């Protein structure tokens, strides 16, 4: 488990295969979730998070809750993010977008 902390500028933060904490702080950040259950906080600025679970074979449930744009993903959390780009795998997925700029791809499954 690692904590990756950004700066006041625009940063690219990348999670690992473990359960990481990504903290964007200021600036317009891009946060790439790793394979583990990551906790992500974009902080100030216009931030976007990219979550790719295209290799997953089990069910994934993702909720974007407006207006705080908080999401939960099997125990992981995302907050302070204005745009979400998410790709699911071949399982039976449940994906619900929020008020922000969301891109949700369900792939195969029901």
Q: Tens-of-pLDDT digits for all 110 residues of the chain? A: 789 999 999 999 998 888 888 999 999 999 988 877 788 888 899 888 887 777 766 666 665 555 444 455 555 677 777 777 666 666 665 665 655 566 565 656 55
Structurally, the chain folds into a number of domains equal to 1
Give the pair of three-digit tokens for residue 98: 């929020």
- Please indicate, yes or no, if residue 34 is contained in any of the structural domains: yes
Residue 84 belongs to a domain: yes
| Exposure class string for 59-93: b at 16+ Cβ within 10 A, else e | ebebebeeeebbbebeebebebbbbbbbbbbebeb
* Kind plus residue range of the DSSP H or E element containing 50: strand 48-52
Examine residue 109 and state whether it is found in any structural domain, yes or no: no
pTM of the model: 0.71
Q: Establish if 78 belongs to a structural domain.
A: yes
CB 5 within 8 A of CB 25: yes
**8 part of a folded domain:** yes
Residue 93 belongs to domain spanning: 3-104
Tell me the sheet residues that pair with 40: 22, 78
Q: For residue 110, tell me if it sits in a domain.
A: no
What is the DSSP secondary structure assignment for residue 95, as one 8-state letter? E
């Amino acid at each position: 488990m690692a904590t990756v902390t950004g700066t006041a500028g625009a940063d690219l933060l990348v999670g690992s295969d473990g359960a990481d904490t990504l903290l964007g702080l200021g600036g317009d950040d891009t946060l790439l979730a790793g394979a583990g259950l990551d906790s992500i906080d974009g902080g100030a600025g216009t931030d976007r998070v990219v979550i790719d679970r295209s290799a997953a074979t089990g069910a994934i449930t993702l909720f974007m809750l407006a207006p705080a744009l908080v999401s939960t993903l099997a125990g992981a959390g995302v907050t302070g993010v204005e745009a979400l780009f998410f790709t699911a795998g071949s399982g039976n997925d449940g994906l619900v977008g929020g008020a922000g700029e969301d891109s949700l791809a369900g792939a195969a499954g029901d």
